[in-house]
């Protein structure tokens, strides 16, 4: 994904409603050693599938996706998928 001019594309708020639905939340994740910082995390990131650090902006998300959305909102950035809205967003492909 790359920054685009504001008229090009704004975030789809309907997608946020889908992500908020607990019925579509990823399965619980519990295989951390007891002393690991995320040992209490029972969810995966709704965006990329990494381990969620908690609920951020209304959905379970990891620190990476939380930071991405925070920067996007604060800097008023807009992004467009280069693959005709079929971009794969997962732990390996996010920055």
pTM value surpassing 0.85: no
Contact by Cβ (8 Å): 41, 48: no
Pick the CATH number of 2-80 from 3.30.70, 2.30.29, 3.30.1380, 3.30.50: 3.30.50
User: pLDDT of the chain along its 95 residues, tens only?
Assistant: 555 444 444 444 444 444 444 334 344 444 555 555 555 558 999 999 999 999 998 999 999 999 999 999 999 999 888 888 888 888 887 76
Q: What's CA 35's distance to the chain center, in Å?
A: 25
Q: What's residue 35's pLDDT?
A: 54
Q: What's residue 21's pLDDT?
A: 41
- State how far the Cα of 6 lies from the Cα of 86, in Å rounded to an integer: 20
SS3 of residue 51 by DSSP:
strand
Q: What's residue 92's pLDDT?
A: 84
Domain boundaries, the chain: 2-80
């Amino acid at each position: 994904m790359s920054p685009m001019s504001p008229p090009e594309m704004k975030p789809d708020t309907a997608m946020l409603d889908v992500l908020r639905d607990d019925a579509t939340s990823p399965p619980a994740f519990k295989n951390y050693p007891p002393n690991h910082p995320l040992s209490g995390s029972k969810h995966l990131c709704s965006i990329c599938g990494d381990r969620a650090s908690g609920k951020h902006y209304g959905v379970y998300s990891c620190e990476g996706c939380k930071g991405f959305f925070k920067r996007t909102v604060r800097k008023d950035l807009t992004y467009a998928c280069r693959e005709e809205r079929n971009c794969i967003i997962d732990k390996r492909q996010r920055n």
